[in-house]
A and B are shown apart, each in its own frame.
Chain A
């Protein structure tokens, strides 16, 4: 970089008049020999940052607008989350929709159609918390369920158990399993609706997770049994569900004496009153529940209680999401070690029903056990998977000694208590069925057609329901998985607009 002009010429230029030069330059020129003082002096005037003071630019914080609305009241958000709306007044009413009744529930011609739930029964179903918030009940005029193959099977069983044939008083034990959104919970709901139609006693555990997440009170059963625990609040809630949902209880009278409750139970007390003693005082709720359970299983009255004894109806017991019960709970024992879910008496009671009863069947007056797994909200428990496989193998007639009988992974931690819970060794009582595994899958194409037609009749689906279209949607829904079909059915489009 050689400059094009000569420095010598520049130096010989006449110096600029003083007035033109900036004042700072003149200041330096005065003390041309020593520049340091002048520089220091200049520095003093400028606002130099002080020692160790941050030099970075500070942004002014924006003033946030004052919070106008109050936070919602306690429990309001949960209520919103759990709110269940069963009717949409805007949806079209389907004129020839049939209801669940004694005749329709076993009618195999209705397979694939949607049966409405009778309006008086809705309160009962709500009481046992049969409906879940995200099952899409809110978009139809009234709640209804599809009659599928498994529904008809259950209906025939329920019909047989409450009928007068040879199946009277039988006990059916099933574990309902299946992929996500295949309708396991709704399957339980259908069973409940049928049981209510037949005036059974329905006892449900809609949310098994609540019992093991350490959100309700717990206490050791007694000083003699410090290692098993009762959950008084949860038991009281169960009793209250049962009482609200089963008006049958008010017709039945106690058949024996009960100890453990605060006051003696006189003869002539209805079972409803017995249960209400437990609801009022959660401290005795577990004893009240046991008393109620014994009464529901009674076949005859003890001496002194014969007056007004009525035969007990069969029972339907459902539990949803059993996987939560197959691991250690969040409760701690005295030594700050987690308590296994099977040590909670509530859980232990319902799991013990799966085993063959001693002497008499686990439900002496007959009935049905339906325990469902959950695929969306469930912990991963490898032992449970093996246990269910073993149930299926036993059901298929594979002997436990056979080589193809499934066994847990030898190199993984196995929870023996889980395996034992499903291991129905021993001879079952005469009318007692063995534990079965029922796996739900997708609907058939005909059932899917009926279901989608229900959407179309309700005015939600505006398509021409040809076989081709339905086949396409059936495949899109993973082979007729009902939850996915529901999403397709309510999927919004404005082709018409």
Chain B
């Protein structure tokens, strides 16, 4: 299976463009793939029959369906060069702007510069002299292509190469179809994550539930979680404190209708970006130094959840779920001490930010 697919990808990513020695034949090859754009075809002086063939596969009786990657867009530089050619009406192919020089294929330079042609490496000269349509590698598809070419001697060499590509694509598509038999229609799109019953809860909800779990009692934690979500759903919409806005939240009146989003915005709003790590051996002398370290999304959320749970302990309500739900609403309204914690953490991290460079410096010295 892998070799077949390799063949496919080798064709899909235009071989010819990445090649260091593009010959005239390969150049035309690339443009055949782009043949749906007539201006590109004409500038390269392609024969009309070929163009027609690639444009309307149905009209010439071939009836070959187009493969998914049969006509990819050309490389950026190539396209820019072509556009500039059209726009500037300079038929000698000189680039209108210096940036375009970067991406100009060697073949074009060679074509317009006879001197350079003479001094070109021997390999390139050989390739330029070689009859077009031949390739430096051979595959089984090639042989089939050659057979077909023999059957149709009147086709030009360009036509032959185009047919070769088409043939390869057709073959690979067939092989891909063989790999997934029995599918009359394309396979359905991938299901959303929550459709899997093991991951039925949203990421944040899941993390929150697992964090408030004690002694491995998951169902109790889930019960508390569902109470919290129901409370968020039924409590009056939060009065947002203008100094402590929730990050990326819809208007406050819409929050209760989507309690999971409500919970997510609350947690993401008070999640710290950094934490301080005590690190020894940066400045020497065995003194440990605080270094701010960035947190991943999950770590940030975990810190926020822990803070919220901690802050909820101070509440007077009799039940844990009540305390937690009320604390979450307090966070949304900007009344909670969790906000101060976040600001404090950020302030500390900012004050010791010079240690970051010290740390990286150590690393460099050691490395």
Min CB–CB distance B169 → chain A (angstroms): 35
> Is B236 touching A492 in the complex (CB atoms < 8 A)?
no
B319 CB within 8 Å of chain A: yes
> Which single member of A90, A138, A494 contacts B260 (CB below 8 Å)?
A494
Minimum CB distance partner of A91 in chain B: B257
CA distance A90 to B252 in the complex (A): 11
| Contact residues, A440-461 vs B (CB, 8 A) | 459-460
- Taking CB atoms and an 8 Å cut-off, the chain A residues in 61-114 that contact chain B are 69, 71-72, 76-77, 80, 85, 88-92
* Docked pose: A488 CA to B192 CA in angstroms: 16
Cα separation A286 to B13 with both chains bound (whole Å): 91
CB proximity to A under 8 Å, residues B231-257: 233-237, 256-257
By beta carbon, the residue of chain A nearest B201 is A492
User: Closest CB of chain B to A289's CB: distance in Å?
Assistant: 38
CA distance A88 to B201 in the complex (A): 23
Contacts of A80 in B (CB 8 A): 319
Chain B positions 146 through 168: 1 when the CB is less than 8 Å from some CB of chain A, otherwise 0? 00000000000000000000000
* B318 close to A494 (CB less than 8 A): no
Q: Determine if B233 and A90 form an interchain contact, defined as CB atoms under 8 angstroms apart.
A: yes
Q: A76-B318, A91-B257 are in contact. Are A492 and B237 (CB under 8 A)?
A: no
A221, chain B: closest CB distance, angstroms: 43
CB contact under 8 A between A139 and B318, given known A494-B260, A494-B264, A497-B258: no
Which B residues between 65 and 124 are near A, CB-CB below 8 angstroms?
none
Asked if B258 and A139 make an inter-chain contact with CB atoms under 8 angstroms apart, the answer reads no
Q: Tell me whether A56 is interfacial, beta carbon within 8 Å.
A: no
- List the A side residues contacting B233 at CB < 8 Å: 88, 90, 139
> A76-B318, A459-B257, A493-B260 known; A90 and B236 CB under 8 Å?
yes
Determine whether the beta carbon of A492 is less than 8 Å from that of B318: no
B274 interface residue (CB < 8 Å to A): no
Given A69-B318, A76-B318, A80-B319: A495 and B230 within 8 A (CB)?
no
Q: Is the CB of A494 within 8 A of B257?
A: no
Minimum Cβ distance to chain A for residue B324 (Å): 14
Q: Check A497 against B264 for contact (C-beta < 8 Å).
A: yes
Does A496 touch B at the CB level, under 8 Å?
yes
Q: In the complex, what's the smallest C-beta–C-beta distance from B36 to chain A, in angstroms?
A: 35
Contact B318 A72 (CB under 8 A): yes
Q: Does B202 contact A (CB under 8 A)?
A: yes
* B205 at interface by CB-CB < 8 Å: yes
Nearest-Cβ distance from residue A6 to partner chain B, whole angstroms: 48
B257 proximity list for chain A (CB < 8 A): 90-92, 459-460
The yes or no answer to B194 lying at the interface (CB within 8 A) is: yes
- Check if A90 sits within 8 Å of B318, measured CB to CB: no
Q: Which of A89, A138, A462, A496 contacts B230 (CB 8 A)?
A: A138
On whether the beta carbons of A85 and B234 are closer than 8 Å, the reply is yes
The residue that B229 contacts in the complex, of A71, A90, A492, A497, with Cβ under 8 A, is: A492
Q: Which residue of B205, B234, B236, B237 has the most chain A CB atoms within 10 A of its CB atom?
A: B234
What's the Cα separation between A85 and B256 when bound, in Å? 16
Asked if residues B259 and A138 are in contact (CB atoms below 8 Å), the reply is: no
Count contacts on B: residues with CB < 8 A to the other chain.
23
Does any Cβ of A come within 8 Å of B261's Cβ? yes
In the bound complex, how far is the Cα of B259 from the Cα of A92, in angstroms? 14
The answer to whether B230 and A494 have CB atoms under 8 Å apart is no
Contact B230 A493 (CB under 8 A): no
User: Of the candidates B192, B234, B235, B259, which one forms a contact with A492 in the assembled complex, judged by CB atoms under 8 Å apart?
Assistant: B259
Interface size class, chain A: 20 to 34
**Is B316 in the interface zone, CB < 8 Å from A?**
yes
Interface string of B23-62 (1 = CB under 8 A from A): 0000000000000000000000000000000000000000
Contacts of B205 in A (CB 8 A): 492
Q: Which residues of A contact B201 (CB under 8 A)?
A: 492
CA distance A18 to B235 in the complex (A): 86
Distance, CA A90 to CA B229, complexed state (A): 13
Residues from chain B with Cβ under 8 Å of A77 in the complex: 318
In the bound complex, residues from chain B placing their C-beta under 8 Å from that of A138 are 230, 234
Give CA–CA (A80, B194) in the complex, Å. 32
> Is A90 a contact partner of B192 (Cβ separation < 8 A)?
no
Most chain B CB atoms below 10 A, which of A72, A76, A88: A88
A69 neighbours in B (Cβ, 8 Å):
316, 318
**Nearest B residue to A139, CB-CB:** B233
Closest to A80 in B: B319
B256: A residues at CB distance < 8 A: 90
Neighbouring B residues of A460 by C-beta, 8 Å? 257
Contact digits for B203-228, partner A, Cβ 8 Å, 1 yes 0 no: 00100000000000000000000000
Residues of A contacting B229 in the complex (Cβ-Cβ under 8 angstroms) = 492
CB distance from B83 to the nearest CB of A (A): 41
Pick the residue among A76, A462, A493 that contacts B194 (CB under 8 A): A493
Residues in chain B near residue A92, CB distance under 8 A: 257
Are B258 and A494 interface neighbours, CB within 8 A?
Answer: yes
> If the complex has contacts A85-B234, A138-B234, A139-B233, are A492 and B260 also in contact, measured as CB distance less than 8 A?
yes
Which residues of chain A (89-147) have a CB below 8 Å from chain B?
A: 89-92, 138-139
Choose among B256, B258, B261, B316 the residue with the greatest number of A CB atoms under 10 Å from its CB: B258
Q: Are A494 and B202 within 8 A (Cβ)?
A: yes
Contacting residues, chain A, for B235 (C-beta < 8 A): 90
Question: In chain B, what residue has the closest Cβ to A458?
Answer: B257
- If A80-B319, A89-B236, A139-B234 touch, does A497 touch B261 (CB 8 Å cutoff)? yes
Q: How far is the CA of A497 from the CA of B260 in the complex (A)?
A: 9
Nearest A residue (CB) for B192: A495
The A450-491 residues at the B interface (CB cut-off 8 A) are 459-460, 462, 491
* CB under 8 Å from chain B, chain A span 407-461: 459-460
The answer to whether A139 touches B236 (Cβ under 8 A) is no
Query: Are A494 and B261 closer than 8 Å at their CB atoms?
Result: yes
Contact B237 A90 (CB under 8 A): yes
On chain B, the residues within 8 Å of A495 by CB distance are: 192, 194
Chain A residue contacts of B260, Cβ below 8 A? 492-494, 497
Q: Which residues of A in the span 171-215 have a Cβ within 8 Å of any Cβ on B?
A: none
Interface residues in B268-302 by Cβ distance below 8 A to A read none
Distance in angstroms from A66 CB to nearest chain B CB is 13
Among B200, B205, B318: residue with most chain A CB under 10 A: B318
Given contacts A460-B257, A492-B259, A497-B258, whether A90 and B316 have CB atoms under 8 Å apart is: no
Q: Give Cα A326 to B260, complex, Å.
A: 45
Taken together as a complex, chains A and B put the C-alpha atoms of A77 and B320 apart, in Å, by: 13
B203 to chain A: closest residue by CB: A494
Residues of A with C-beta under 8 A to B261: 494, 496-497
Q: How far is the CB of A71 from chain B (nearest CB, A)?
A: 7
Residues of chain B with a CB closer than 8 A to A139's CB: 230, 233-234
Q: Which residues of B contact A497 (CB under 8 A)?
A: 258, 260-261, 264
The answer to whether A90 and B234 touch across the interface, beta carbons within 8 angstroms, is yes
- 7 pairs of A and B residues whose beta carbons are closest in the complex: A90-B256, A72-B318, A492-B260, A459-B257, A497-B261, A494-B260, A88-B234
Knowing that A493-B260, A496-B258 touch, tell me 15 more A-B residue pairs with CB under 8 angstroms.
A72-B319, A77-B318, A85-B234, A88-B233, A88-B234, A89-B236, A90-B234, A90-B235, A90-B256, A91-B257, A459-B257, A460-B257, A493-B194, A493-B202, A494-B260
Name 28 A/B residue pairs within 8 A (Cβ), A-sorted. A69-B316, A71-B318, A72-B318, A72-B319, A85-B234, A88-B233, A88-B234, A89-B234, A90-B233, A90-B234, A90-B235, A90-B237, A90-B256, A90-B257, A92-B257, A139-B230, A459-B257, A460-B257, A492-B229, A492-B258, A492-B259, A492-B260, A494-B258, A495-B194, A496-B258, A496-B261, A497-B258, A497-B260
